[in-house]
Copies of this chain bind each other. A is one copy, B any other.
């Protein structure tokens, strides 16, 4: 069997034969916990993830870290900054660190992240920490594939309206105010607690109404608060299990993943190069406004269905 790193690379490239290997790994897995850490740029997420990883390692857990950089959708490159900040962890055989770039296609990022989790899970990793930058739909999709989502903010950037605007309050299972030694940190904690106490947030599934989102203060650079954050994450997981809400969450994770993969398969049909000429003609018709995009799309879909029928 290939190494975890090789496995993740294969999954990212979608090489032939990877699917079968991933299927085997998936069926053998299901043990690892997936924790998402998200927030704006400059909130110190990478440092926080490193601090959290150290706490988990001290407890004897193995840790996977997926740092997702929203870099070039085309080059697929990723910057090593986050890895450098974790240099003390890179020599530890109980820690696996991987940077992933956005894939540049609909749902590609969450697909790659989910496959990486499958590989890490099968390799016996206990906890996977997925770090995402920003708050786009990509990130929301990635976070939907986590058991617990930690939203990070800092004093100065993180006033209530900003948090609301970013849509982050609604996806948080745990809130973390990092750089809590900066002025204004107490105010941010107080504001967040107040916002969170206003009542059940609209996006929580009904079976998760019983969870009260905690607000944890950290100074990640000094490791301060990392224990408390790890505890809050544990508490959330224990609550998921005790309340039975974990079943709904794992079901939602499966639904999102199946739907995403099904879309990719259908997208491959759409992009079937054997039908290049027909597609080009549709595009030209739209460019010259002879037909509208939806009519073109309907034509394309009808062709996919027809083609599928011929093949089957």
Report which A residues bind B (CB closer than 8 A).
19, 22-24, 26-30, 40-42, 69-75, 79, 81, 102, 104, 106-109, 114, 133-140, 157, 161-162, 164-167, 170, 202-203, 247, 250-251, 254-255, 257-267, 270-271, 282-284, 286-287, 289-298, 300-302, 304-306, 308-309, 312
Measured CB to CB, the closest approach of chain B to A299, in angstroms, equals: 9
Point out the residues of chain B lying under 8 angstroms from A203, CB to CB: 72-75
Point out the residues of chain B lying under 8 angstroms from A294, CB to CB: 19, 22-23, 261
User: Which of the residues B74, B137, B286, B290 comes within 8 Å of A70, measured between beta carbons?
Assistant: B137
Cα A157 to Cα B166 with chains together (Å):
18
User: Is chain A's interface secondary structure helix, strand, loop, or mixed overall?
Assistant: helix
Known: A41-B162, A254-B293, A282-B258. A304 touches B266 (CB 8 A): yes
Instruction: Give 16 pairs: A residue, B residue, CB < 8 Å, sorted on A.
Output: A41-B166, A71-B166, A79-B164, A102-B137, A134-B135, A134-B136, A136-B138, A254-B283, A258-B296, A258-B297, A259-B297, A259-B300, A262-B298, A263-B267, A302-B312, A308-B309
10 more CB-based (< 8 A) A-B contacts, given A24-B292, A108-B137: A27-B291, A40-B41, A71-B167, A79-B164, A79-B165, A102-B167, A106-B137, A136-B137, A263-B266, A266-B301
Known: A81-B165, A286-B257, A309-B305. A292 touches B262 (CB 8 A): no
Measured CB to CB, the closest approach of chain B to A232, in angstroms, equals: 23
